[in-house]
Amino acid sequence: MRRIPLVFAVFLAAAAHMTPPRALAQEPADASRDETRSRAGAWSWDAAARGPGADGPGANGPGAVRTGAVDAVRRDTPSGLPVPRFVSLKSGKTFCRIGPSFSHPVRLTYMRRGLPVVVVAETHDHWRKVRDRDGDECWVHRSKLSGAETALVVEDGLVVRARPSAGAPARARLGAGVVARVEEHRDGWSRVAADAARGWVPRAGLWGASESDAFAAAHN
């Protein structure tokens, strides 16, 4: 039987030296009150926009906005870009705050360049409220975000194939947690690249950029 070559991308690059995708920062006791105050005047993709039942169990959890196919996509936003939408983190260290200003305390520190997040609210002074795959939300300035199309691998051992077909030859496997660049979408498949691995994977194995999400380059 022909053996499938394994390409250990990102997640097997010496496990002892891997940096966690994010780190929790200590929050002040009144953090939630500060965030509520800071959101005054911010444009938000809120429960009214999402529709009935949007705040039910799992509404903010993993996969809540998987591919851009959501109940309501709004474009009457300060940036003119759709909300919600996927963007990615520009650097390997990103401070995400409890409110939309540099004076607000840091809530989360992301240690992963290219990690996809979902913009769920905006302000007129270029702050974006983002949600990660775990459902946590905090504020990042737009200068820290990128329009580069990326996706997080959520299926361990995701097979990378030569063509967008389940019968196509396998080229590699990707582990859960790998951040891959997304190059193209076709019929439920995405062509991705992660280190030496490059090829087609099913969309169901990814969380991030999608063909319906308008992940326009240079827009965040």
202 beta partners: 189
- Contact call for residues 179 and 114 (beta carbons, < 8 A): yes
Assess if residue 131 is contained within a domain: yes
**In tens digits, what is the pLDDT along the chain, a chain of 220 residues?**
455 444 444 333 333 334 456 655 444 433 333 333 333 345 554 433 333 333 332 333 333 343 334 448 888 999 999 999 999 999 999 999 999 999 999 999 999 999 999 999 999 999 999 999 999 999 999 999 999 999 999 999 999 999 999 999 999 999 999 999 999 999 999 999 999 999 999 999 999 987 555 444 445 7
CA 167 to chain centre: 29
Assess if residue 20 is contained within a domain: yes
Assess if residue 3 is contained within a domain: no
Assess if residue 214 is contained within a domain: no
pLDDT given at position 48: 30
Query: Is the omega angle on the peptide bond into residue 116 within 30 degrees of 0, that is, cis?
Result: no
E strand or H helix at 23: strand 22-24
CATH number for the domain spanning 36: value is 2.30.30.40
User: How many structural domains compose the chain?
Assistant: 1
pLDDT given at position 72: 81
Structure confidence by residue, pLDDT tens digits, 192-217: 999 999 999 999 999 998 755 544 44
pLDDT given at position 47: 32
Assess if residue 120 is contained within a domain: yes
| 179 three-class SS | strand
**Containing structural domain, residue 120:** 15-50+64-146
Assess if residue 133 is contained within a domain: yes
pLDDT given at position 209: 81
Assess if residue 6 is contained within a domain: no
Assess if residue 161 is contained within a domain: no
Q: Which two tokens stand for residue 60?
A: 């903010």
Largest CA distance in the chain: 63
